[in-house]
Each structure stands twice: as structure tokens, then as C-alpha cells.
Chains A and B, each alone.
Chain A
Amino acid sequence: MTALVQAVRVDTDAEANVEIGAQLRRLYDEHYRSLVKLAAFYVDDVGSCEEVVQDAFVALLGRERRVTPGKEAAYLRSAVLNGARSALRKRRVRRQQRDQAVPFPASPEATAVAATERGEVLAVIRNLPAKQADVVVLRYWFDLSEAEIAQTLGMARGTVKSHSHRALKTLAERLEDHR
């Protein structure tokens, strides 16, 4: 009887592992790259970005209670935002020092002036209230709809709209000050 129970348990575990493996492959292909880029708006180095994203995957796939099918992407985005913001908080002092010294590394095709302007925009986004910054990043980089942002951030659509409006107003004012 004991052997049978153990065998059944092993089979169950094996099936669960196969299921998790298939889910991992699908979620990885669909979301991993974009989530690492999402984390990069808050965290500086790619290694830390990947760590944050992998933590989110492990939390999603390693948990006993599964996220409702269809909501995995929203869960991952939310977990990455939380993880990245947590990492950002730990490094804020270092980041501020670096932002002052080197605003933004120029990409090969960009001019130094353009890179600096982009760096200023990013710095202003990072200094927005947390929810506003999240809404801006999800809207203008992830191209999520208001409904998708609301689901990711756990807020009403109207709140998303008001955060977006306030964020753009603040961005316009602060960027104007920089010019």
C-alpha cells in the first residue's frame, strides 16, 4: 500500500513537473524578454533585472495556489514592478549619484544631446509617484490598454486614467523646466 501511494505521488509530481515545464516555456517565450526590459526602467544592470524577472516566474510557477489561467501576464508584470521597485529602493542613493554624474549612456546611433534628453525624461519618470511611473511605463512602453494596466496594478480604470493624466502633466512641467 505504501509503495502504491508513493508511486501515485511520484506520478503526480512528474505530471505536475511536465505541466510546469510546458507553462514555463510558453510564458518565457511570450513574456521574459519584455519583462526584463520592463525591469530595466527601474534597475540599472541586466543581471539584477533578470533576477527580478526570474523571481516573478518562480513565484508564479512555484506556488501551491496557481494564478487564474489568463492572468499570468498581469501577475508577472505586477510582480516585476514590485520586485524592481524594491531593488530600486535599495539602490536609490547610488542611482542618484550616478544619474548626476552620467545621465544616460548614449546608444551608438543616438547623439549625445538626444541621449541626455532621454536620460532626463527617464529621470523624471523615475521620480514620479510610484503608481504614476508604473502607469506611464505600462502605457507608453508596454502599450497596454487602460483595462490591462488596471488589472496589472490592481486599480480601477478611472484611477489609471487620472494617474496617467497627472503623470503627463508633471512630466510636461518638469521637462519644460529642463529646457
Chain B
Amino acid sequence: MNTEDAVRDALVARAAQVEPSRDAYAQLAGRLQRPRRTSWRPARLAWAASAAVLGVVVIAIATTRSPDQGTDRGQAVATSTETAAVATPTALLPDHADALWPLSEPAGGWPSTPEGAIEDLWTAAFGTTDAQIRQTNAGYEVLRVDESGQPVQSSPPAAVAELVAVGDGWAVADLTNPQISLSGGSFETTESGFAYRPAGRAWAFEGHVTVQVFDAGGAVVAEGFVMGGGTELLPLSGSISLEGIEPGPATIVYSDRGGLGVPVWAAAERIVVPMH
């Protein structure tokens, strides 16, 4: 018996020992009828509500300070990490509540098509204008490209985008994929400065997830990487320095560039950088 036959024989023998329970279908149907778990949207709303409430507190404290106490940034930073994390004045909120990209109306107006909004984001993040996009029931799928920049039709899409109508155009409202799962992050002030620590899980080439932070104008204001799993989905670890970045809305694009430097998987989230 050669190796392949031995492997097949062992696997078949193992499979033959296992049979599902007779009431498996009823169990499964019952599980699906239970209330669904809270999705990311309520979680984000809760985060935003907390930020707004505590932001009001911070503003109230700031406005009650006497003029001789000064208002420069150095003193504003002298707060706890928690305080810094939630200082989100209304003026810093994005132009449109659901927009992830663009965050504000570009000079030429909002992208006129859903595909145009996705292409704008793709071009800004990956420098490629040949992203191939197709509309499916799941949303707008962005196909992977190979090292020559050609779309790979046979592979899963690099990301699925949700779009939202804004003004007379479109904006990307969400960009997701199963390999980089984001669940909101937190701001922190450490010895090395002000930073954002993303939360979620990823499975990327050698665990390496590239991170780019874009301001409301679409310019890259910070870059770095965080680590996920290399062989399985693992929690993200690491943070991205936001030191010196102006407060305001920002888009963070996470990507697995694989071994070839092209976007294999991509996801994005919107944050509002607080005063720090």
C-alpha cells in the first residue's frame, strides 16, 4: 500500500466511525430560531454613544478651565487613556454617518457609482486601478489580482463592500472579508505616544496584516502592521501609532498582501481620532 492509499484508508476508516445524531436537524433548526447574536452595528453604536457622552464631559471640563491654565495640546494630553479614547466632539464626526470611504465629499462630488467609490478606495490603498468589481447577493465583490495585476477569477474575492447612497453619489459603508474580522478597537496613550489598538481576528500570510490610516481627505497619515494568525484565525495584536495625527474621522484599511505584495484580503473600518 503506497502513501496515498494509506492516507485514504485511514481517513475513510476514521470517517466510518462517526455518524451525526438523529436529532441533529432539529438541534440546528432550534439554534437558528434563537435570537441572533449582537452584530457589529449595535456595538459600534454603543461605542459611539459612550464616546459622545464622555466627550461632552471632556468639553465641559475644558470650558470650565481658567484662561491661565492654557489650552495647548501638551496639557490636553495630560489625561488618562480612557479620557483620551472618548473625546469625540461632534465637529469631528464624518460628513455622513455611514460613509467609510470617502469620509467627506470630495471636491468633485461623491463618486457617481458604487464601483467608483470602491475603485477610489482600492486605488488609494493599493495603488491599483484595475480592481475588478462584481455585484452579487453578498454585496460588491472585489476580485483578487495576481502579481501582474490581473484579476484572479477562480479565487475568493479579496473583500466584499457594502455601499451607501450619499448626496447624489455613493460611498463605501463597509469592507469585509472572512480572514480579517474587525470588532472595533480602542485608543491608548502609552509611553511611545498615542495609538489605536484594533480588535478582531485575522488569518494572514505569516500573520502579517498591513494597516493604513487615511484622513478625511483620503491621504495616508499613518502606516504600520498588526499581527494575526499565520495558520489560523487569531486575535489581532499590536497597535498603530497615531501620534501627531489631527483629530477627526479616519479610515483604517487592513490588508493581507500575501507573499507577492498584492491585496489577498482587505477590510476596513472607520474611526474618529479623538483629541490627544
Chain A positions near chain B (C-beta within 8 angstroms): 20-21, 24, 28, 32-33, 36-37, 40-41, 46-47, 49-50, 54, 57-58, 61-62, 64-69, 71, 74-75, 78, 82, 85-86, 89, 104-105, 107, 110, 115, 117-119, 121-122, 125, 129-131, 136-137, 140-141, 147, 150-151, 154, 156-157, 168, 171-172, 175
A24 and B29 form a contact (CB under 8 A): yes
B9, B28, B162: the one contacting A28 at CB < 8 Å is B28
20 contacts between A and B (CB under 8 A): A24-B32, A28-B28, A40-B17, A40-B18, A58-B32, A62-B32, A65-B176, A69-B137, A78-B178, A86-B232, A107-B16, A118-B13, A119-B10, A121-B9, A122-B10, A129-B231, A130-B231, A151-B154, A151-B155, A172-B3
When each residue 1-36 of chain B gets 1 if its CB lies under 8 Å from chain A and 0 otherwise, what string results? 001101111111111111111001101110110001
Question: What CA separation (Å) do A129 and B39 show in the bound complex?
Answer: 33
Across-interface contacts of B264 in A (CB, < 8 A): 154
In chain B, positions 201-215 with a C-beta closer than 8 Å to chain A are 203
Question: What CA separation (Å) do A118 and B8 show in the bound complex?
Answer: 10
Across-interface contacts of B231 in A (CB, < 8 A): 129-131
B162 and A65 form a contact (CB under 8 A): yes
A110 and B13 form a contact (CB under 8 A): yes
B155 and A105 form a contact (CB under 8 A): no
B13, B18, B39, B178: the one contacting A46 at CB < 8 Å is B18
Question: What CA separation (Å) do A122 and B11 show in the bound complex?
Answer: 7
B20 and A36 form a contact (CB under 8 A): yes
A65 and B138 form a contact (CB under 8 A): yes
Given A36-B18, A49-B18, CB of A117 within 8 Å of CB of B137: no
Q: Is the interface of A mostly helix, strand, loop or mixed?
A: helix
B154 and A157 form a contact (CB under 8 A): yes
Across-interface contacts of A68 in B (CB, < 8 A): 136-138, 141
Q: Is the interface of B mostly helix, strand, loop or mixed?
A: mixed
Q: Does B160 contact A (CB under 8 A)?
A: yes
Question: What CA separation (Å) do A151 and B152 show in the bound complex?
Answer: 12
Residues of chain B at interface, number, CB under 8 A = 48
Chain B positions near chain A (C-beta within 8 angstroms): 3-4, 6-21, 24-25, 27-29, 31-32, 36-37, 39, 136-139, 141, 152, 154-156, 160, 162, 176, 178-179, 203, 231-233, 264-265
Nearest CB of chain B from residue A172's CB, rounded to whole Å: 4
Given A140-B11, A141-B15, CB of A171 within 8 Å of CB of B32: no
